[in-house]
Amino acid sequence: MKSTRVNIRMKDELYLFFKEISEHRGVSISAMMNIALTQYKDWEGHLSGRGDDMARAMSARENLGNSNISREKHIIRGTQS
Inter-residue contact 32 to 76 (CB < 8 Å): yes
Residues of the chain with pLDDT below 50 are 1, 67, 81
Inter-residue contact 72 to 35 (CB < 8 Å): yes
- Give which of 42, 18, 45, 41 is closest to 29, Cα–Cα: 18
pLDDT value of position 58:
67
pLDDT value of position 78:
57
- Give which of 61, 81, 74 is closest to 32, Cα–Cα: 74
pLDDT value of position 60:
66
So where are the chain's domains? 2-77
pLDDT value of position 72:
55
pLDDT value of position 39:
79
Say whether pTM exceeds 0.85.
Answer: no
C-alpha angle 79-38-65 in degrees, rounded to nearest 5 = 60
